[in-house]
Amino acid sequence: MPNDDLGAVILKAVKQNRLEILNGDILVVAHKIVSKAEGRIVSLAGVKPSPKAIKMAKEHCKDARIMELILKESVQILRAKNGIVVSETKGGLVCANAGVDQSNVEGDAALLLPVDPDKSASRLLDAIKKKTGKEIAVVIMDTFGRPFREGQVNVAIGVAGMSPIRSYVGSRDMYGRKLRVSEIAVADEIASAAELVMGKSEGTPAAIMRGYRFEKMAKSSAKLLQRSRKQDLFR
């Protein structure tokens, strides 16, 4: 709910499930509980669609009010086809519907992405550390589609306390060849792995990942995972 102490809520759930937070854990959190705690719920009754939103909604079989929210949350509509709108959000994410979602939201309302998921992750990290004294990392995740692949996967949209990428550039493979481009999006892999135990509608909005030795990073950011326009072959 809006203004909930998310750190306290999560730690209460940890205790109720007879778990504990340990040094080196990675706390993976669905963005929806972060967005709800930050008041990013919008009542559709108060949304007045613009002429552009009405036109696009008709073209793509969408609620004009949802289309208006998508436009407001976007800096650019990249593709719109077969009822799917792919846009670049104000935070630089490229995803369907600018992250505007009605699933697992009560009533005639929609949920928006956190304004700054990295800051949200950092605040949660600080809260957990203050209450437990443990050194952990936090990943905030959302579900994204993928070009050229069926199905969706969970990806990191906010990161704190760890490097979201593990670089192998400069190291050598098993035959001595020097690696030049291998950089693994470990934060995305962590988010995807967490979804396997969290599910989409099972009421489990957070998970603890244990055993992966992440690279600590004081000023971490999921934006390091965003490919620049200059390097993007599709924009």
Model pLDDT for residues 128-182, shown as the tens digit of each residue = 999 999 999 999 999 999 888 999 999 999 999 999 999 888 888 888 888 787 8
How many residues are there in the chain?
235
Model pLDDT for residues 63-75, shown as the tens digit of each residue = 999 999 999 999 9
Give, in degrees to the nearest 5, the angle at Cα 224 between 99 and 88: 30
Give the predicted TM-score (pTM) of the model.
Answer: 0.92
* pLDDT in the model for residue 232: 84
Q: How far is 233 from 32, CA to CA, in rounded Å?
A: 31
Every domain of the chain and the residues it spans: 1-38+113-226, 41-112
Q: Which three-class secondary structure state does DSSP give residue 35?
A: helix
Mean pLDDT of 46-66: 95
Kindly tell me if the per-residue pLDDT of 201 is higher than 90. Answer: no
Q: How far is 52 from 68, CA to CA, in rounded Å?
A: 8
Contacts of 230 (CB under 8 A, 6+ apart): none
Q: Of the candidates 95, 79, 67, 60, which has an alpha carbon nearest to the alpha carbon of residue 235? A: 79
Partnered with residue 30 across adjacent β-strands are 141
Model pLDDT for residues 84-94, shown as the tens digit of each residue = 899 999 999 99
Question: Average per-residue pLDDT in the chain?
Answer: 92
Contacts of 83 (CB under 8 A, 6+ apart): 60, 61, 62
* pLDDT in the model for residue 32: 94
Where in the chain does DSSP place strands (E)?
26-30, 41-43, 74-81, 84-89, 94-96, 109-111, 137-146, 149-162, 166-167, 183-184, 206-209, 216-217
**Counting beta carbons within 10 angstroms of the beta carbon of residue 153, is it exposed (0 to 12), middle (13 to 18) or buried (19 or more)?**
middle
Tokens representing residue 138 in the block: 């936090």
* pLDDT in the model for residue 180: 80
* pLDDT in the model for residue 77: 94
Q: In degrees to the nearest 10, what's the CA dihedral of 58, 59, 65, 69?
A: -170
Tokens representing residue 223 in the block: 């934006």
Read off the DSSP letter of residue 44: G
CATH of domain 1-38+113-226: 3.30.1330.100
What's at 31, amino acid-wise? H
Tokens representing residue 227 in the block: 């490919």
Q: Write the CA distances from 49 to 43, 46, 55, 107, 228, integer angstroms.
A: 13, 10, 10, 19, 31
User: Are the C-beta atoms of 214 and 162 separated by less than 8 Å?
Assistant: yes
CATH class of the domain whose range is 41-112? alpha beta
* pLDDT in the model for residue 25: 97
Q: How far is 147 from 191, CA to CA, in rounded Å?
A: 18
Q: How far is 90 from 72, CA to CA, in rounded Å?
A: 9
Partnered with residue 108 across adjacent β-strands are none
Kindly tell me if the per-residue pLDDT of 82 is higher than 90. Answer: no
